[in-house]
């Protein structure tokens, strides 16, 4: 009958010698080897050595010192939802040929799962006291649990305790002699070291888990930061785009307001000019008629003088002589011819003034906001007359309008604004003197307006930003950098586009493409 350790020596099985108590020298040597190995294990663990290799060495030393055949070092896993289970960290069984059941395979540490702790080891978890069994049956009955990995004749199970908690166990079996309470006392440092190593290993595992969790959290945080940075960049770009669009729109509104004010001023001035201009034009026409009467009358007087001169009295003959002398002195024939030329020049000048006033009124006419059929040839001609004073001193303007040109559907005031920007840019690109070519063409479903200059041209980098709002190569105060941007926006609202080609030193060409009216 098996008996647990009770402080008395247990009888051995029949035919076996009684246990021999080690001598003092043997006990001293055993303690010395054990303490040396335990100190070395502590140092190796502190250096980071693998716990399983440490336990393998310690278990091998323990089996050697106790003359045992088999044993294991295990960690006890407690769970509030399930029975306690074992996690093997080291085990050894020397006479493998006598094993009744194959051991469970797997890398260490090996979790055996709930139910692995059974009789006679189960009481150790509840009492926390060492278990010493001698004369154990060679083939115990029941399921092949941990104890059945080897046929145990004798058994010594020592708990690894931290306070009142059992954190592990050290089990050895089948010594050459019986286990005694002295073994329990001598192996106390061994058990304490195993408990310390298990607790240290648990701390390391907890630290590794915490570090892994911290790394995952840091990675998630970094991912959130990256996503937030991308979102911030997107929002910033969107805000910047919106800000630029608002500034451009504000500039357009300001420009439109100025154009409306200018239109009112020009309309008033044109009205004031038209009144006296009407008088001048009318008077010139009347004066031309009067001159024709005077010229005819003078001719008749001359005929009368020629016919009456032979029969004139001396005083009449003297008067006629003075009249003829004055005619020759003042060159009456030249005056009669020149006054016609002067009147013709005056009429042409008055007509030019009237034409300019009409162009100004057409150029600055109020934008109704509604689209209408537009003749681009006529609008170009109107714009040229308005900006002619800016062009005539620095450029030779060559116009080539296709006749007839299909009408487009658009807003004339806005198109005049585009043509003005392009023409002024062309003349400002000229170094001193140059040529500006203005042409129109009908290609497919589009009307093309090309404005070319022989100026200094643009580099590819400048050309790429030519339509960017507020981009300008002019000196500060010479331009806001909105002309081409506003023009491109206006043409886009007309369902068209502006194309630009340029080479440094060879000038630039801007082509406005506008769809023809569908009913044209």
120-174 pLDDT, tens digit each: 677 787 788 898 888 644 444 333 334 445 567 788 999 999 888 899 999 998 8
Domains in the chain, number: 3
Output the pLDDT for position 252: 67
- pLDDT band of residue 287 (cuts 50, 70, 90) is confident
Residues 55 and 79 in one domain: yes
Q: What average pLDDT score do residues 213-219 get?
A: 91
In a domain, 228, yes or no: no
Question: Residue 477: how many CB atoms within 10 A of its CB?
Answer: 6
Output the pLDDT for position 268: 65
- pLDDT band of residue 6 (cuts 50, 70, 90) is very low
Q: Which of 179, 202, 234 is the last residue of a domain?
A: 179
Is residue 95 pLDDT above 60, yes or no? no
Output the pLDDT for position 453: 92
| Nearest residue to 108 (alpha-carbon basis) of 123, 129, 86, 126 | 86
Q: What is the DSSP string of 444-456?
A: TTEEEEEEEE-S-
Q: Which of 346, 364, 382 is the last residue of a domain?
A: 364
Secondary structure E strands in 259-309: none
In a domain, 194, yes or no: no
Residues 39 and 102 in one domain: yes
Mean pLDDT of the chain: 78
Is residue 360 pLDDT above 90, yes or no? no
Is residue 105 pLDDT above 50, yes or no? no
Output the pLDDT for position 198: 92
Q: What average pLDDT score do residues 468-475 get?
A: 69
Could you tell me which residue, 96 or 124, shows the higher pLDDT? 124
Secondary structure E strands in 382-518: 395-400, 408-410, 434-443, 446-453, 497-503, 507-515
The whole domain housing 48 covers: 24-136+146-179
Which residues have a Cβ under 8 Å from the Cβ of 27 and sit 6 or more positions away? 182, 186
pLDDT over 90, % of the chain: 18
Is residue 462 pLDDT above 90, yes or no? no
Q: CA–CA separation, 408 vs 376, rounded Å?
A: 8
Q: What average pLDDT score do residues 485-506 get?
A: 88
Which residues have a Cβ under 8 Å from the Cβ of 209 and sit 6 or more positions away? none
In a domain, 119, yes or no: yes
Encode pLDDT of 383-423 as tens digits: 888 888 888 888 889 999 998 899 999 888 888 888 988 99
In a domain, 1, yes or no: no
Residues 387 and 454 in one domain: yes
Of 100-104, 223-227, 369-373, 407-411, minimum mean pLDDT range: 100-104
Output the pLDDT for position 222: 92
Residues 154 and 174 in one domain: yes
């Amino acid at each position: 009958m098996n008996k647990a350790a009770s402080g008395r020596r247990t009888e051995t099985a029949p035919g076996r010698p009684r246990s021999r108590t080690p001598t003092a020298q043997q006990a001293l040597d055993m303690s010395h080897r054990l303490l040396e190995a335990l100190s070395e294990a502590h140092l190796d663990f502190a250096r980071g050595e693998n716990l399983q290799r440490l336990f393998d060495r310690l278990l091998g030393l323990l089996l050697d010192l106790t003359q045992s055949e088999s044993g294991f070092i295990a960690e006890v896993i407690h769970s509030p939802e399930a029975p306690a289970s074992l996690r093997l960290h080291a085990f050894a069984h020397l006479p493998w040929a006598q094993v009744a059941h194959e051991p469970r395979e797997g890398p260490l540490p090996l979790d055996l799962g709930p139910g692995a702790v059974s009789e006679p080891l189960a009481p150790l978890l509840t009492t926390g006291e060492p278990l010493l069994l001698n004369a154990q049956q060679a083939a115990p009955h029941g399921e092949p649990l941990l104890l059945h990995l080897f046929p145990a004749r004798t058994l010594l199970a020592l708990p690894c305790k931290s306070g009142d908690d059992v954190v592990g166990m050290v089990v050895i079996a089948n010594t050459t002699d019986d286990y005694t309470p002295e073994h329990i006392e001598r192996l106390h440092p061994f058990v304490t070291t195993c408990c310390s190593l298990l607790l240290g290993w648990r701390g390391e595992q907890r630290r590794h888990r915490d570090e892994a969790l911290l790394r995952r959290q840091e990675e998630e945080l970094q991912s959130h930061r990256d996503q937030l940075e991308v979102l911030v960049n997107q929002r910033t770009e969107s805000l910047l785009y919106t800000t630029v669009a608002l500034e451009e729109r504000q500039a357009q509104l300001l420009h439109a307001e100025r154009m409306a004010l200018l239109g009112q001023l020009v309309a008033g001035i044109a009205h004031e000019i038209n009144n006296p201009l009407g008088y001048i034009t009318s008077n010139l026409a009347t004066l031309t008629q009067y001159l024709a009467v005077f010229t005819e009358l003078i001719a008749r007087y001359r005929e009368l003088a020629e016919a009456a001169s032979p029969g004139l009295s001396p005083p009449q003959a003297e008067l006629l002589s003075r009249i003829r002398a004055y005619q020759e002195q003042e060159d009456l024939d030249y005056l009669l011819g020149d006054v016609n030329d002067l009147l013709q020049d005056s009429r042409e000048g008055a007509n030019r003034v009237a034409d300019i006033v009409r162009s100004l009124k057409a150029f600055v006419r109020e934008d109704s906001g509604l689209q209408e059929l537009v003749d681009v040839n006529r609008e170009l001609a109107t714009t040229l007359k308005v900006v002619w004073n800016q062009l005539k001193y620095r450029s030779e303007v060559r116009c080539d309008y296709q006749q007839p040109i299909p009408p487009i559907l658009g807003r004339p005031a806005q198109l005049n604004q585009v043509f003005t920007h392009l023409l002024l840019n062309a003349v400002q690109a000229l170094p001193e003197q140059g040529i500006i070519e203005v042409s129109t063409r009908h290609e497919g479903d589009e009307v093309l307006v090309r404005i070319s200059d022989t100026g200094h041209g643009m580099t590819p980098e400048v050309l790429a930003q030519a339509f960017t709002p507020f981009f300008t190569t002019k000196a500060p105060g010479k331009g806001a950098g909105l002309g081409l941007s506003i023009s491109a926006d206006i043409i886009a609202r007309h369902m068209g586009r502006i194309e630009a080609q340029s080479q440094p030193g060879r000038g630039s060409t801007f082509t406005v493409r506008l769809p023809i009216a569908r009913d044209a």
